[in-house]
Amino acid sequence: MSPSVSPNGRWIAFSRYGHTDADSLHQATDQAIWVCAVPESGQLSQLAFPVTSEVSICDSPSWSPDGSKIVFSATLDIQNSNDFTTRELFTVDFDTTGLAAEGGVVLDRGLTRLTTSPPPSGSNFIVRNMEPSYSPDGGSIIFVSDRRVPTITLNERNIWRIPADGSLEPRLLFFTRSDDQGAFYTGRTPDEILLTSGVGFPTEMLDALWSAAYDSIAAANPEFTAIQVEALADQQREQLEFFEGVMTHIYLFSNW
């Protein structure tokens, strides 16, 4: 799951379950980050190996721009903790020098924890940091988290940013009162991000849709007065306003 191609195009990082229940993927366990060599066209990869240990949850790998590290989301049992719920961000070094040696690569090489996200005091909610992505210069990582408002269900996620070495606390980068997710840098500019959000139609889009509805209604009903046309266009706008949290849209966001 969650494949990610290395910057040089030679490797694919992905998450893999070591044990899967025969009846349901939801019962799968022993997840780890693996890497395979990109095969020739029409062929299967002839080389695949793990780079992390198997833990409860270990997914969403993403490469650093120089290909030397992989950032991912995992439960704390990757550090031999008994916490199997909270999900934090980690990086692991990617080094293929061990491939030629007996025994293959070293698991969890350079494993570094980037985030610490305890739930609010007295709360039983868990915090989930997910879907990390490096900035084009490799200096920071953006990710999806419900750390602002930990909830039982995934419906209060926002986009956060942290230095790539985890030296500072995460800062909120993109926030709505709906669900924000799937963020990654486009690479077109240093700070442009593509993401999805359940925030609904922006005001500018609603204004444009209202104008289009007005023109369409007026053209189809020349006998209507301007007040009647406006009333019908208002009804269509009101219907679209109810899409808050019901559907998601794709947004380009720049923090400049």
- Residue range 165-218, pLDDT digits in tens: 999 999 999 887 778 898 999 988 889 999 998 876 667 778 888 999 999 999
Q: Answer for the pair 75, 58: CB distance below 8 angstroms, yes or no.
A: yes
State the Cα–Cα distance between residues 16 and 59, nearest whole angstrom: 8
Q: Give the mean pLDDT of the chain.
A: 86
pLDDT greater at residue 200 or residue 63: 63
pLDDT of residue 115: 95
pLDDT of residue 84: 65
Beta strand pairing call for 4-5 and 11-19: antiparallel
Give the 3-state secondary structure of residue 61.
strand
Mean pLDDT of 63-91: 90
- Please give the DSSP secondary-structure letter assigned to residue 55: B
CATH 2.120.10.30 applies to domain 4-197+249-254? yes
Tokens of 212: 């289009």
Q: How many helices (H) and strands (E) does the chain have?
A: 2, 15
Mean pLDDT of 121-140: 88
Mean pLDDT of 143-164: 83
Per the DSSP assignment, residues forming a β-bridge with 160 are: 143, 172
User: Is the model's pLDDT at 98 over the cut of 70?
Assistant: no
pLDDT of residue 105: 75
State the Cα–Cα distance between residues 130 and 60, nearest whole angstrom: 7
User: Is the model's pLDDT at 155 over the cut of 80?
Assistant: no
As a whole-number percent, the residues of the chain with pLDDT over 90 amount to 54
User: Is the model's pLDDT at 20 over the cut of 70?
Assistant: no
pLDDT of residue 199: 76
State the Cα–Cα distance between residues 154 and 140, nearest whole angstrom: 24
What band does 29 get if pLDDT is binned at 50, 70 and 90?
Answer: confident
State the Cα–Cα distance between residues 144 and 75, nearest whole angstrom: 15
User: Is the model's pLDDT at 86 over the cut of 90?
Assistant: no
What's this model's pTM, rounded to 2 decimal places? 0.79
pLDDT of residue 46: 87
CB atoms within 10 A of CB 98: 13
pLDDT of residue 162: 97
Domain residue limits, the chain? 4-197+249-254, 203-241
Phi, psi of 93 (to 5 degrees): -75, 140
CB atoms within 10 A of CB 159: 23
User: Is the model's pLDDT at 101 over the cut of 60?
Assistant: no
pLDDT of residue 103: 56
